[in-house]
Chain A
Amino acid sequence: MDPRTHVEMARDHVLHPSNPDAQDAYDFQAFKEKFKIEMQAIDGMDMEFDMIGVDAAIANAVRRILISEVPTMAIEQAYIYHNSSVLPDEMLAHRIGLIPLAVDARRFRTLEEDNNEMNDLNTLVFDLDVECKHREGAKAGETDKNKKYINHMVMSSDIKWQPKGNQKDRFKTAICPVHEDIPIVELRPGQRVSMELHCSKGVGKLHAKWSPVATASYRNAPHIVLKQRVTGDLAYRLQQCFTDGVIEVRDGEAEVVNSRADMMSREHLRHDDLAPLVHTTRRRNHFIFQVESTGALEPDVLVCEAVGVLKDKCSRLLDQLNAITGTE
C-alpha cells in the first residue's frame, strides 16, 4: 500500500499517518488536477459527497465553517405579551429560537452591519398568538384532546409572518418555519400565549440555533484489499467481519465489492487466521462528507457558501495585512 496515499489501520496503531511527501511545494495546477468532488446522493436536505485531493486541514475547515460560520436566520427576540402556559417565558423563548426557518439568509444583512438598528433588511417579524378553549359539543368523558379542546398544542405552524417595509414584494411566498409540525407547548382551556418574535441573521458560533446544518461530518474513505485468495469457510467468516455489503462471496471466493460501506470495526484482527489476510487502510486525501441541512438552504448550496466563507476570511486577513505593510 502506498504510504503517500493510504493510512494503514493496524490492530493497535495507525501506520504512516502523515504524508511523507507533505513538503511538496503547493502548486495550483497540481491541486486542480487532483481535486475532485464526487456527488454520491442528494436526498432532500441530506447529501453525501466525496471530496478528493485535499488535505485534512482544508476538509476540516469546510466542516467547521458549515457548523459554525455559515449564516442563517433565527428568532432572536421574543416579546412576550401573554404567557399563561406551563412553560416559563425564557424556556418558551428558547424553544421558539431553535425552530428552523425556511428563509435564505443571503438576502438579509446582520444587525451589526446596520449599527444594531432594525429595519426590513435585517429583521423578520413573526406573531404567535394562540389561546386554548373547550370545544363546544364535546362528549362528556371525551379523551381525544383534538375533540375536547381547541388549540391544545401550540405548533410551529402557528408562527405567522408579518411582512414589514417592502418584504412583501421581495418575498413572493410567505416565510414560515421549515417544519410546520413542531410542538412548542401544550395548552389547556384558559391558557394563552401571545408574543411578537424578531428574527435576525447570525452564525452558529454565537448560538446553535443559527447553525445551518443538523450534522456535517466527514470520514476518510476506507480502502480494503485482500492480500491473497480467500476461499471456503474462511471466506464466509471474513465476510461476517465487515459491514454488510463490503465483502461478497462469489463461487466460494471472498471479494471486496464495496470498501466505502465499511465502518472500520477491524473485527477480522481479532481472529488469528483472518488477520493476515486483509489490508485495512484509509485513503488520506479522500473524504466522505455527510451534510444534513436544517432546511433553509440546500446542502450543496451550504457547502459552496462554506467555501466562500473560508475565502472571505482569507481576503479579510489579506486586506488587514496590506493595510499594515502596504500593498506590493
Chain B
Amino acid sequence: MDEPTDFEDPERYKVGDETYARDLEALKILRGKEDPQSATFVIANEDHTLGNSLRWILNRDPRVDFCGYSQPHPSDKLIKLRVQPKPVEEGEEPVDATEVLRDALKNLMQMCDHMSETMQTQARLYRQQQGLSIPAYEAPEEEDMDEEDDDESEVAEDDEEEQQ
C-alpha cells in the first residue's frame, strides 16, 4: 500500500488517487439505489456496547424489516448499523431508516433514565436498611467547572469599570 503523500491538508491524506479523511466522520449515512428508505449508518468511535443495544431495540420496532450491525475490523473504531424498514403498501407514507433510528435512540434514552432511577432507589433503600452511608449518586455540583471562562470575562469587565 502506498504511503500517504499529501501532507498539505492536515485534515486529509492521499493514497494513490483517493483522498481520505484523517479523522473519521462521527456519523455517515450510506444509501443504496434500489431501496431509498433503508440505510447503513457508519458510526465512528462506537463498538458492540452501542451496536448490540441498538440492534436489540430496533429489532423490536414493528416498522423494521431487518436490522443488524457489525464491527468490520477490530482496528477500525467504527460500527456499521444496517436498518431496513418494512416496505409499505402503495399510498402509504414510507418510513425512513433515520426516523426509525431516531425513535430507537429516544426509547433507549428513556429506558436508561428509568434504569438509573430504579438502581438509585433500590441502592438507597438497601443502604438505609443496612445503616450504610449514602453516596452521591449525582455528580457533585461544581460552581467553577463550566463557568470558568465566564468568570474571567466578568473579572475583565470589572477591571474596565474600575479604570473608568
The residues of A with any CB-CB pair to B shorter than 8 Å are 22-26, 28, 31-32, 35-39, 42, 49, 54-55, 57-58, 60-62, 64-65, 69, 104, 106-107, 109, 121, 166, 170, 297-298, 300-301, 303-304, 307-308, 310-311, 313-315, 317-318, 320-322, 324-325, 328
How many whole Å from A194's CB to the nearest CB in chain B?
Answer: 32
The answer to whether B140 and A104 have CB atoms under 8 Å apart is yes
Q: Which of B49, B60, B119, B142 contacts A107 (CB 8 A)?
A: B142
Q: Which residue of B has the minimal Cβ distance to A49?
A: B122
Stretch at the interface among B2-10, B13-21, B50-58, B156-164: B50-58
CB neighbours (8 Å) of A170 from chain B are 142
The answer to whether B49 and A64 have CB atoms under 8 Å apart is yes
Classify the secondary structure of B's interface with A.
helix
CB neighbours (8 Å) of B61 from chain A are 25-26
The answer to whether B27 and A317 have CB atoms under 8 Å apart is yes
Given A39-B122, A61-B52, verify A107-B108 contact (CB < 8 Å): no
CB neighbours (8 Å) of A320 from chain B are 26-27
How many whole Å from A326's CB to the nearest CB in chain B?
Answer: 10
Interface pairs (8), CB distance under 8 Å? A37-B119, A49-B119, A57-B55, A61-B50, A104-B140, A313-B46, A318-B105, A321-B105
The answer to whether B53 and A39 have CB atoms under 8 Å apart is no
How many whole Å from B125's CB to the nearest CB in chain A?
Answer: 7
The answer to whether A106 and B29 have CB atoms under 8 Å apart is no
17 extra A-B contacts, CB within 8 A, seeds A35-B115, A304-B137, A307-B112? A26-B60, A26-B107, A28-B107, A35-B114, A37-B121, A42-B123, A42-B130, A54-B115, A106-B140, A107-B139, A107-B140, A109-B145, A298-B135, A313-B49, A317-B27, A318-B109, A320-B27
Interface string of B139-150 (1 = CB under 8 A from A): 110101100100
Cα A311 to Cα B144 with chains together (Å): 25
Q: Which residue of B has the minimal Cβ distance to A318?
A: B105
Which interface residue of B112, B142, B145, B148 has the most chain A CB atoms within 10 A?
B112
CB neighbours (8 Å) of B101 from chain A are 321
The answer to whether B122 and A317 have CB atoms under 8 Å apart is no
How many whole Å from B86's CB to the nearest CB in chain A?
Answer: 12
Given A311-B109, A318-B106, verify A57-B53 contact (CB < 8 Å): yes
The answer to whether A57 and B105 have CB atoms under 8 Å apart is no
Q: Which residue of A has the minimal Cβ distance to B133?
A: A298
The answer to whether A42 and B127 have CB atoms under 8 Å apart is yes
B70 touches A (CB below 8 Å): no
Q: Which of A58, A62, A315 contacts B56 (CB 8 A)?
A: A58
CB neighbours (8 Å) of B46 from chain A are 313, 317
How many whole Å from A13's CB to the nearest CB in chain B?
Answer: 24
Given A317-B105, A321-B102, verify A61-B119 contact (CB < 8 Å): no
Closest 4 CB pairs of A and B: A300-B123, A57-B56, A26-B60, A311-B112
How many whole Å from A2's CB to the nearest CB in chain B?
Answer: 20
CB neighbours (8 Å) of A61 from chain B are 49-50, 52-53
Cα A33 to Cα B108 with chains together (Å): 16
The answer to whether A69 and B49 have CB atoms under 8 Å apart is yes
Cα A64 to Cα B71 with chains together (Å): 16
B62 touches A (CB below 8 Å): yes
CB neighbours (8 Å) of A314 from chain B are 50, 105, 108-109, 112
Q: Which of A28, A301, A310 contacts B110 (CB 8 A)?
A: A28
Cα A23 to Cα B63 with chains together (Å): 11
Q: Which of B48, B122, B130 contacts A37 (CB 8 A)?
A: B122
B59 touches A (CB below 8 Å): yes
Cα A28 to Cα B103 with chains together (Å): 12
Cα A166 to Cα B119 with chains together (Å): 34
CB neighbours (8 Å) of A328 from chain B are 102
Q: Which residue of B has the minimal Cβ distance to A50?
A: B122
B76 touches A (CB below 8 Å): no
How many whole Å from A268's CB to the nearest CB in chain B?
Answer: 34
Cα A300 to Cα B136 with chains together (Å): 10
B37 touches A (CB below 8 Å): no
The answer to whether A310 and B119 have CB atoms under 8 Å apart is no
Scan residues 58-94 of chain B and give those whose CB is less than 8 A from a CB of chain A. 59-62
Cα A180 to Cα B97 with chains together (Å): 54
The answer to whether B126 and A39 have CB atoms under 8 Å apart is yes
Cα A298 to Cα B120 with chains together (Å): 12
The answer to whether A308 and B118 have CB atoms under 8 Å apart is no
Cα A328 to Cα B100 with chains together (Å): 12
CB neighbours (8 Å) of A35 from chain B are 114-115, 118
